């Protein structure tokens, strides 16, 4: 029914739990500018500044200046930031999403994102997800860096390492389904959430996809460079990679 509604839900990530209220305007279907071109789930990694930068830069590092430029564009153009629940419903064909929809994700939970990226997201009040690794200080990161604008989800508990024989050689291809499910459940306990999972190195197997479903994870992501479309496999969704040297024009074109 068209009208203005106030929706309250609980945002929980690790040690942080907060009730958030959204004002939603429901409009007639004919007036709704719905998304027909796919939803970009952006894949970032690390953020650096002039005073905190690595000795060697690669495409995984984006400057704070460029990140601010991109967030300014998203805010000025009134982009909508759907939750993973909404993304799953969109993939399943149950709901439409606004034409200007985008999700921001940051992989690995390294200090360059935690110390340089999170403060910028807080400043712009733009929600994002940090995919953290349990054995790489995951619990400590979630406790220390909890914020209402950054949700912590699983990049596995202990699968972000070599040992397999497909893709980038991640260990997941050498694991059974039950072993993967066990790892995913440990990560869910760590983050307090089963909303999303990012496959380590982007290596995906049939057992890995089956484990995602068995663990009750809403959406899982690869590193394949593409948007998310209605009808996609929720266990292996694509993301749009954001390289550190991307121009604003190219960034705009990727959305």
Q: What are the beta bridge partners of residue 61?
A: 46
**Tokens read off for 10:** 């609980």
Average pLDDT, the chain: 92
State the chain's maximal CA–CA distance in angstroms: 56
As given in the structure block, the two tokens for residue 184 are 């995913």
Q: Which one has a higher pLDDT value, 73 or 31? A: 73
pLDDT at 241 over 60: yes
pLDDT at 7 over 70: no
48-99 confidence digits (pLDDT tens): 999 999 999 999 999 999 999 999 999 999 999 999 999 999 999 999 999 9
Q: How far is CA 255 from the centre of its chain?
A: 15
The pLDDT of residue 22 is above 70: no
Cα separation of 207 and 55, whole Å? 38
Give the torsion through C-alpha atoms of 132, 181, 225, 62, to 10 deg.
Answer: 10
Distance CA 142, CA 137 (A): 9
> What pLDDT shows up at residue 28?
60
Could you tell me the two tokens for 115?
């110390």
Please state the pTM of the whole predicted model: 0.89
Q: What is the mean pLDDT of residues 124-150?
A: 96
């Amino acid at each position: 029914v068209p009208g203005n509604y106030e929706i309250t839900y609980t945002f929980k990530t690790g040690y942080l739990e907060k009730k958030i209220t959204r004002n939603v305007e429901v409009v007639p279907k004919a007036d709704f500018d719905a998304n027909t071109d796919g939803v970009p789930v952006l894949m970032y990694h690390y953020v650096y500044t002039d005073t905190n930068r690595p000795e060697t830069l690669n495409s995984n590092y984006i400057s704070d200046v460029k990140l601010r430029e991109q967030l300014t564009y998203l805010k000025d153009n009134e982009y909508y930031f759907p939750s993973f629940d909404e993304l799953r419903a969109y993939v399943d064909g149950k709901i439409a999403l606004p034409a200007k929809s985008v999700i921001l994700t940051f992989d690995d939970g390294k200090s360059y994102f935690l110390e340089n990226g999170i403060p910028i997201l807080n400043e712009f009040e733009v929600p994002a997800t940090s995919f953290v690794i349990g054995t790489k200080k995951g619990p400590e990161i979630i406790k220390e860096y909890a914020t209402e604008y950054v949700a912590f989800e699983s990049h596995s508990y202990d699968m972000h390492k070599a040992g397999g024989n497909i893709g980038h050689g991640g260990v997941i291809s050498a694991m059974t389904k039950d072993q993967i499910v066990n790892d995913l459940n440990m990560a869910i306990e760590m983050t307090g959430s089963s909303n999303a999972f990012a496959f380590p190195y982007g290596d995906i197997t049939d057992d890995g996809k089956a484990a995602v479903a068995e663990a009750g994870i809403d959406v899982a992501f690869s590193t394949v460079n593409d948007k998310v479309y209605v009808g996609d496999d929720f266990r292996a969704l694509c993301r749009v990679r954001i390289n550190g040297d991307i121009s604003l024009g190219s960034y705009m074109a990727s959305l």
